[in-house]
Amino acid sequence: DGGITQSPKYLFRKEGQNVTLSCEQNLNHDAMYWYRQDPGQGLRLIYYSQIVNDFQKGDIAEGYSVSREKKESFPLTVTSAQKNPTAFYLCASSRTSGGINTGELFFGEGSRLTVL
Amino acid sequence: GNSVTQMEGPVTLSEEAFLTINCTYTATGYPSLFWYVQYPGEGLQLLLKATKADDKGSNKGFEATYRKETTSFHLEKGSVQVSDSAVYFCALSRDQFYFGTGTSLTVIP
């Protein structure tokens, strides 16, 4: 079955540590996204990528980094510079044509990061 | 610019009640419109979509009509069930996806 796989589902981190969240898709989608969700709140865009080896900052990119070396993979690193990293992180992907989304957004199951 | 404004929650209904969650949008061009549902601890799932004016999206008893004249995409269901308890997000797509803040629905027996 095609879909998006995020790992790990739960992650605990000590302050000052970097952590990397994995996101893999086998939907052959060009565009991939990372969102952050805080309790009782909506989604905030961290980074997105429309093609391999290219990505753009979203609304809250500070303290995060990404890479897009392969079409199917878009890992997110939460660095020690992120002041309040405890949150639920969602990866998503979509089809695009000429920079415009041509279908819906497909989401992974999410990764819950807790800083101890 | 592009944005979505969604009815504030939380919403609490009795089983079999009628549901409406309001959603209005601002967009350049002709966006596609979506409703997503999120169950606790999970990612978002597509509930329904509409790609052009006057289209009606429907799924699992939920419906929403793309109204260009009122820039709205309100979600409705005639008779809610306990299993419909979740958070509902309205969204539009152009160069990116733009989400509303979500509406939490609790259905009590």
Question: What's the pLDDT tens digit per position in B33-83?
Answer: 999 999 988 899 999 999 999 999 999 999 999 999 999 999 999 999 999
Q: Is A27 touching B (CB cutoff 8 A)?
A: no
DSSP A81: T
A-interface mutation test, from B96, B98, B106, most A Cβ less than 10 A away: B96
Contact residues on chain B for A105, CB-CB shorter than 8 A? 34, 36, 44, 46, 91, 93, 97
3-state helix, strand, coil in chain B (%, to 5): 5, 55, 45
- Dist. CA B69–CA A98, nearest whole Å: 27
CA angle A77, B41, B16 (to 5 degrees): 150
Nearest to A74 by CA among A1, A12, A7, A17: A7
The Cα B79–Cα B62 span in angstroms is: 9
pLDDT at residue B102, rounded to an integer? 94
pLDDT tens-digit map of A29-38: 999 999 999 9
Which pair of structure tokens corresponds to residue A23? 């996101």
Question: pLDDT digits over A8-53, tens only?
Answer: 999 999 988 999 999 999 999 999 999 999 987 889 999 999 999 9
Cα angle A27, B90, B104; round to 5: 110
Q: Residue A69: phi, psi to the nearest 5?
A: -85, -25
Element (H, E) at A20: strand A19-25
Task: Determine, for residues A101 and B100 on separate chains, whether the beta-carbon distance falls below 8 Å.
Answer: no
CA distance B18 to chain A (A): 24
Question: Which three-class secondary structure state does DSSP give residue B91?
Answer: strand
- Contact (Cβ atoms closer than 8 angstroms) between residue A48 and residue A102: no
Q: Which of A45, A88, A105, A112 to mutate to test the interface with B (most CBs of B within 10 A)?
A: A105
